[in-house]
Amino acid sequence: MKIHREGYLIIFIAIVLLSVIHVGNYFLYQALGWMWLYILLIVGELTMLYLVIQFFRIPNRTCVFEDNDIICPADGKIVVIEEVEESEYFNDKRIQISVFMSPLNVHANYNPISGVIKYVKYHKGLFLVAWHPKSSTDNERTTVVTEHASGKEVLFRQVAGAVARRICYYVHPNQKVITGEEYGFIKFGSRIDLFLPLDSTINVKIGDIVQGRITKIGNLN
């Protein structure tokens, strides 16, 4: 396991702030002599630091895939599988699969298929809770479309949530990408939407707990 680069500054700030708080707690203990409170506050400080560090953790995973596989782009839970009208890029019907990421999940995002990036766009927006039906179209978000070697295209969208306030993405149009490579990061809870061709094979169901780079969402047929 390693720490994602997006977390370096935040972890440093957390350490500085918790150090200041700890000094204050020590003087409080010196004044009151309440050992139980001092120990309780130390436990709270360490817990907060642990939660910040684990949010930016990147586990060591090997992505094993075949050419037509669609690999899950994020850790989380499948909350949507339905046929919808995709209106930003395709303007036709697609299968939408949404993965909700809680603050406890790994928040790195990965390319679901190999191919060439055809479209990248960032949208300013609201910060509705990530499971809200309109979060996919109204929240702050980025949309990426990758064209597979077969000519089929998959759209995947990072969606900010009520807590998330920064979406990071590292791809650009005409870039060649490989399944399972990191393409972005969302800070502090949100979701990823996938829009797949209607003839795709789907291997997951609503409620499934999934892992980025590991879980096979389905296949391009």
Task: Point out the residues that are catalytic.
Answer: 190
Residue 65 CB neighbours (<10 A): 17
Backbone angles phi, psi at 205, to 5 degrees: -135, 165
Q: Report the side by side order of strands in the sheet with 108-110.
A: 108-110, 182-186, 167-169
The pair of three-digit structure tokens given for residue 83, joined into one six-digit string:
């046929």
DSSP symbol at 7: G
* Percent of the chain that is helix, strand, coil (3-state, to 5): 25, 35, 40
